Chain A
Amino acid sequence: DSGVTQTPKHLITATGQRVTLRCSPRSGDLSVYWYQQSLDQGLQFLIHYYNGEERAKGNILERFSAQQFPDLHSELNLSSLELGDSALYFCASSPQGSWAFDEQFFGPGTRLTVL
């Protein structure tokens, strides 16, 4: 158990819909990272937040957005969903995260299925 929690574990929805994935980092960790893992694209870094501020963006689509709240939990919002958005979405946390990626602790993931 990494100490990172993600909800929900599974999500099934239809094309065009909007969903919100939630991540709670390990206690004391200030950084949250979001990743997408699909058969087509493999593991892709989406976005990194540090202490409430966006620090780095990866291959995140404009239909996707994220935020980190004052209590440090984070949400990833996916809108206008397409079939290709079906994937495992992981969040990870780390203690630091100024700009360097040090050891991250991954959550169990949310499996999103878009029908």
Chain B
Amino acid sequence: SQQGEEDPQALSIQEGENATMNCSYKTSINNLQWYRQNSGRGLVHLILIRSNEREKHSGRLRVTLDTSKKSSSLLITASRAADTASYFCATESVETSGSRLTFGEGTQLTVNP
């Protein structure tokens, strides 16, 4: 089963608006990562936030992590049509079988010009 659950499943906004996507997870994690995927293509790593970090910025991206609530959010400011893609969170946790990365189901973001 998917550990990360994104919310919302789909988001449609106008260019220039901000987009916020949320991710919840269930077990303890070492880090959480956000990826973007354009339709049918490979994933692109956006940002990694470690479990001892609360907030991280990269360009127009802002990620927060609340380990007490087991949740993270990805904010894209001043969105552009080129931001249209699916966004996935992925959590890294250590299990008896080793370290593993678990992806959520993704949020489909559509930015309308």
Q: Which of B11-19, B42-50, B62-70 contacts A (4 or more CB under 8 A)?
A: B42-50
- Interface SS of A by simple majority: strand
A90-B42, A109-B42 are contacts. A99–B103 as well, Cβ < 8 Å?
A: no
CB distance from A8 to the nearest CB of B (A): 15
CB distance from A47 to the nearest CB of B (A): 10
Q: Which of B33, B45, B102 contacts A45 (CB 8 A)?
A: B102
Q: Which residues of B contact A7 (CB under 8 A)?
A: none
Query: Number of A residues whose C-beta is below 8 Å from B?
Result: 28
Residue contact A56 to B98, C-beta cutoff 8 Å: yes
29 A-B Cβ contacts within 8 A?
Answer: A2-B42, A42-B2, A42-B103, A43-B103, A45-B101, A45-B102, A48-B99, A48-B100, A55-B99, A56-B97, A56-B99, A56-B100, A58-B100, A58-B101, A90-B42, A90-B43, A99-B94, A99-B99, A100-B30, A100-B92, A101-B30, A101-B101, A103-B33, A104-B45, A105-B45, A106-B42, A106-B43, A106-B44, A109-B40
CB distance from B16 to the nearest CB of A (A): 29
CB distance from B35 to the nearest CB of A (A): 8
Residue contact A108 to B41, C-beta cutoff 8 Å: yes
Q: Which residues of A contact B99 (CB under 8 A)?
A: 48, 55-56, 99-101
Answer yes or no: A88 CB below 8 A from chain B CBs: yes
Considering the chains assembled together, what is the distance between the CA atoms of A99 and B94 in angstroms? 8
A-B pairs under 8 A by CB, number:
69
Chain B residues near A (Cβ < 8 Å): 2, 30-31, 33, 35, 40-45, 48, 88, 90, 92, 94, 97-106
A43-B88, A45-B103, A108-B41 are contacts. A101–B97 as well, Cβ < 8 Å?
A: no
Q: Which of A4, A43, A55, A88 contacts B40 (CB 8 A)?
A: A88
A100-B92, A102-B48, A103-B48 are contacts. A57–B97 as well, Cβ < 8 Å?
A: yes
